[in-house]
Structure 1
Amino acid sequence: MQSTLIPPVPIAYWKNYWEKGRDRNSLINTKKQAPAQLVFTEKLIPLQLGNSFHIIMDYQQNRFLEVAGNTEQVIGLSHTELLEGGISLLFNAIDPAEQPKVAAASFYFQEFIHQQVSNIRTNLKTNLNIKLHHKAGHQVTLLEQVLVLDLNEQGEVAYTFKHFTDISHLPSAENMVLSFMNISGGHNHAQLFHTVSFAQTQASEQKLILSKAELAVLKWIAQGLASKQIAEKLHISVHTVNNHRKNMIKKTGAKNIAEVLNLALLNELI
């Protein structure tokens, strides 16, 4: 089991990413409809003690496909409000002090899943405790569990099942940790696969020195594009794109491209 430390992500960048959406025209050969297994979502995550609700999210269109459960009791928002307001509405309810970390977790989740071998990608479940403000004004702590339902043709996250449980009655951890659980053997035999902790500040003392070619690749990575799509955009080979990825990781001392992206954002390089 490995552990990673990543910096928070500037909120302005996160909101721009989700509200404007990725370059959807470049998401070639992606599935246009929700996968058939969505009908079995009630069986994917065991019931939790406490009030809960779930959301099925389409990462290709940046929208919620389904909202069900006790949303009004847990966070004070109706199913309709969440379906219409989408990811921005839910994110805005998160405690402002935790928003940069949740944003970093969102980016890291997508990149980390994409890096895994195919038989692991849909067998990972994440756990993350999040503090939100209920519509009535008081703060609640939710356990967010996310399961990948399907991938697009590039092996990127396409649909997820997000299950939120109110755990406000339980002692809260001082530091936020994102954990990846391997559930290939079933939920009763889940194993800790990877953990991510978050730096306490957005300030970065590390000065990044990246070439123009590397930054060009990184900018498209920030838009959610895979290597093949970036190669087409920049009129270079996939091999060259992957070499730039490896060189950026080596230069920065990062463990993966998600860390490189976060460092570049904090240094305002992209």
Structure 2
Amino acid sequence: MIDVLIADSQILTREGIKSMLLDIIDIRIIGSAKSSGEMEQLIVELKPQVIIIDHDYNNRFTIKDIQNVYSNHSYARILVLSNRAAKNKVLDIIDLGIKNYVFKECSREELVTAVYKTANGEQFFCKNTFETLFGSKLLPEREEPVNALSSRETEIIQLIAAGMTNKEIAEKLFLSIHTIKTHRKNIIKKIGFTFKNAADLMSYTNLI
């Protein structure tokens, strides 16, 4: 059973989420919070596995609140459910370590999948979040499959997505920084989009 806490200042959103998840037999809504103070109290009392949170609606729930959950309640996993946001705002949240992010316009199926993935410690972005990050064409149409990446390139992608710098990757793999940069250029050619940091690769790492 997955115990879920909803943190959103809008009562219609809280009740809507409850309604969408009500008949999922192994998901249980154990509480809902309309403010960060109430959320903190319920986390301590109920110990939810998953917290569905709107991170910035009217500043009731902020990035700082997410950081506090990570710092004080390591057993809880966070699923961000927000209104559609600009790419830079989504990346700000992902850079905190958030692996699960869906927009409120997502489908019921996406929300349910997101809850399961969050509870299991797996990554999930809804289709619209993915498109916000990478454009309407999720992956380029290519003849070569995703596994055309070499084992070394796959390893480097995982390390980049984990937040490591070129220097750190070079030291870990006993390679030169120049070699790492060359691998990154080859990865860009194969996957079809550029990336600047860990957040830009978060969604891609489920595909390899």
- For the superposition of Structure 1 and Structure 2, which TM-score range results when normalised by the shorter chain? 0.3 to 0.5
TM-score, length of structure 2 as denominator length: 0.39
TM-score, length of structure 1 as denominator length: 0.31
- Give the structure with the larger strand fraction: 1
Does 1 or 2 have the higher relative contact order (CA < 8 Å, sep 6+)?
Answer: 1
